[in-house]
Structures are given as structure tokens and as C-alpha cells.
Amino acid sequence: MFSELDSKLNPVKVGFIGFGTVGQGAAAVMVRNASEISRRAGRDIIVKSAAVRDISRQRAPELCEIALTADACEIVNDPDIDVIVEAMGGDEPARTLLLQAIANGKHVVTANKALIAVYGNEIFEAAREHSVSVAFEAAVAGGIPVIKTIREGLAGNKIQWLAGIINGTSNYILTEMRDKGRDFADVLAEAQALGYAEADPTFDVEGIDAAHKLTILASIAFGIPLQFDSVYTEGISHITQEDTAFAQELGYRIKHLGLARDTGNGIELRVHPTLIPERRLIANVDGVMNAVLVQADAVGPTLYYGAGAGAEPTGSSIVADVMDVVRVASAAVDNRVPSLAFQHDALNQSRTVVSNEFETSYYLRILAEDKPGVMADVTRILGDEAISIEAIIQKEPADGTSKVPVILLTRKIVEGAMERAISKIEELDSIEGSVTRIRVESLG
């Protein structure tokens, strides 16, 4: 699309489909830093037009020169536009519009993690067929350039595992529960009032948003196709204030963690609440902030921290992607950095590990009768599954009740064995209700 003559004479023209918080944030960065961007990219980059829901809505003064339309197809089919920025979110019509833009020979930049996680394989294949680039740094961890870092900065390494706090809403809720002793429902309502959580918070608190992001990180880390359906996903709605307090007493903090690991027998892909030793840097990432910890063979552990959302942090990543597209547009497709880090014909089909094969330590919270022999029954069941106990906390029963909370911390064991043990413990007459189970990762 970009000829050598074009690169010397003509500015690159960008069109936005979706011009809400993120889209306007990216456009504002482009306008405000236009001179700096031109110096870095070697070419002027201007925002020509944007597709919006409401043309009459007032926007920031610096965005007034951008032509607006209610028809996204006008942007996608405009022969004068070189790069499409998709910031509308959701599956459709975003997927159809991006595929049409690619068919029209336009490069694409997107912040849409769900679209990439679920349809990325199809989108990247179409981009290869039409010799255009698809960039998606803003899809994971907002303003943190973690995709570029893993794909390019750590390209000489074999990635062993990565772990990320990659959903700010869940991290905010767990931080408030721990620091202020508040209940999940109360903090969630506050997060919704503050705009950190959607009216329907399911994607955030049940781990779906984090699973989309983990799918992308794992693909570029291990050279596997995107496979969102293979991610084990568990939310935080069952975590209580008591769990956060007990974890702290044991020297841990509960984080909603996305974890991908090359086990040698397959790739683990899992999102779930996790106890992490409080001495780890990632355990001290609080509020709405994000962080990704990567363990690689040559460089060792590296941690990437920053704002995981917001208009200009996410916009920063979008602008960087646009600049990358401009820099490499005239290069042959095979000479560009592959979208998923590995050459498309070198992606491997490593199996993904099913959940009953996970191997980790566990935190168990049991509500038991305060009488002799109960703990003997529990430890016998654990022993039958070869589960070793690392620590025990037993509290005094509350006034007027004979039930006592018992906290167990186990050593590493295969999840299938733990599932069998929990099922047997819950069958004991001396145990009330379900056993609360949270996985434990040392991340060492």
C-alpha cells in the first residue's frame, strides 16, 4: 500500500471505527503529539475520519478537525485511508468490518481483546493473504507494552511461564476486600459506581476478560494458535473477606491471576483466584493497576507494570501500533514481525493441559464441628490422596455455634487428587457446606 514515493511525500491517513473513550484517547494523543510521532515514524500521521454512534455529541476541541460519520463502512471503504483503528469492541460488526478493511488492503490496529482471542486466527490469515499488518498491543494490559516486549524484546528467549494481573476491576475489588475488610458485593457496587466495572460485571469478575487476554499472551509466548476455548476460567465472586484475611495471616495475598505455563507435556492456560506470597512484587500490585510477570530461560524473571485501562494509557498503545504499521508497511510480508511472534507456518499444535492435570498447592477453608476426631478424618482423606499439609490455622468457634473455620495450606499436588479429596471431605457429617479451594502459586 505504501510506496517509497508515498513515504516521502504523503501523510498516512487513519480512520477510526469506534470513537468512544479509547478511540478518542488515541486520537487525542495523535493530535497532541503529532510532531513527535512524525519524528519517530519518519512520516506524518493524521486522523482523517471516525465512525461514531452520535455525530451531534460534543467532543474535545482538539478533535474538531476530524470528519465524523455514522456509517463505519464509509471509513472501511474510503480509498484515501491507509490504516483502520478499531475501538468499538465486541464481536460484530467489528469482525466483519475488520475483514472488509483487510480485503481492501488496509492495515488494521485494534484494542479488541475478545475479537483477537476468538477470531484472531481467521483475521491473521486474511491479513497474510492481503499482505497487510494487524497490530493489537492495546488489547492486553492497556498502556503496558507487554505484547511487543514478549514478541520482540524477549525473542531470543524460551518462555517458561507467565503470570498476569490483567483485569483491573477484579484487582480493585480484591484490594479493597483485603485492605478495608469489605465484602465482595459492596466493593463491586462501588466499582460500578466509579466506572471500574460495567453494569453487567460478568466478563470482569468471572474471569472472561482476563481469559481473552491470557489467550493472546500465551499464543505469542509459546507459538501456539489462539485457543480461547482451552482456557480454564474461574472468577472471584466466591472469595470472602475472611479468605483475604486468612491469606494475609499465612503471608499471602489473593490475586485474580492469569497463568500460562509450558509443562513439557502441554501448555497450561488458566485464570483463577490465586494465593501469592506477599513478598513477590506482583502480589503488591493493587487497585486497578495491571502487571505481567514473565519467566524466560535467558533473562530470568521480568515484571511489567502499569495502567491496564483508561483513555490515554490504552490510546498510547494504539498510537504505537499505528507507528509500527507505518514503519514496516513497505517491507515484504515475510520480513515483518509476525503477529503471533512466530512465523505462521511454525506455530505448533501443543496440547493444552486439562484442569485435573494442573499441579499446584492449595488453600482450603473448611467449616467443621468443634469436636475430637474431625481433623483426623480430614487429614486421613488428604493422606489417602498423598496430599501433604504445609500449614493449619484453626480458629475459635463464634459465640453460640459449635462450628469452627479450619484453614489448610497444602503442598503441590495434581488437581484431580485434590478434587477427589474435597469431595470426600464434603461428605463427612462433621463438615458443613462446601470446601473453599483457592490455588497457591509461589511464582519463584
The whole model's pTM is what?
0.92
User: Residue 256 carries which side chain, given as an amino acid letter?
Assistant: H
CATH of the domain at 270: 3.30.360.10
Does residue 376 form part of some domain? yes
213 carries an active-site annotation: yes
* Predicted confidence (pLDDT) per residue in 302-322, tens digit: 999 998 888 888 999 999 999
Q: What is the DSSP string of 166-185?
A: --HHHHHHHHHHHHH---HH
Q: Are residues 86 and 217 in the same domain?
A: no
Which is nearest to 228 in space by CA: 240, 216, 244, 242? 216
Cell 491507509 sits at which residue? Answer: 82
Query: In whole numbers, what is the pLDDT of the chain averaged over residues?
Result: 91
Nearest 5 degrees, angle CA 16-CA 21-CA 24?
45
Does residue 190 form part of some domain? yes
- 6 has a pLDDT exceeding 80: no
* Predicted confidence (pLDDT) per residue in 204-253, tens digit: 999 999 999 999 999 999 999 999 999 999 999 999 999 999 999 999 99
Beta bridge partners of 134: 108
Q: Are residues 291 and 319 in the same domain?
A: no
CA distances (Å), origin 94, targets 79, 98, 413: 19, 6, 43
Q: How confident is the model at residue 1 (pLDDT cuts 50, 70, 90)?
A: low
Domain range spanning residue 338?
4-143+312-343
* Predicted confidence (pLDDT) per residue in 27-63, tens digit: 999 999 999 999 999 899 999 999 998 887 878 878 8
Question: Within its chain, how far is the Cα of 58 from the centroid?
Answer: 32
With b meaning 16 or more CB within 10 Å and e meaning fewer, what string describes 323-354? bbbbebbeeeeeebebbbbbebeebeeeebbe
At 5 the pLDDT is 43
Q: Are residues 21 and 40 in the same domain?
A: yes
Q: Are residues 69 and 164 in the same domain?
A: no
Q: Are residues 150 and 134 in the same domain?
A: no
* Predicted confidence (pLDDT) per residue in 64-101, tens digit: 889 999 999 999 999 999 999 999 999 999 999 999 99
Distance CA 367, CA 397 (A): 10
Q: For the chain, how many structural domains are there in total? A: 3
Does residue 353 form part of some domain? no
Q: Are residues 260 and 336 in the same domain?
A: no
Does residue 411 form part of some domain? yes
Q: Are residues 163 and 234 in the same domain?
A: yes
Q: Which three cell numbers stand for residue 131?
A: 499482505
Distance CA 438, CA 421 (A): 14
| Angle between helices 168-180 and 241-249 in degrees, nearest 10 | 70
Section 394-408 average pLDDT: 83
Does residue 352 form part of some domain? no
Choosing from 180, 213, 395, 412, the catalytic residue is 213
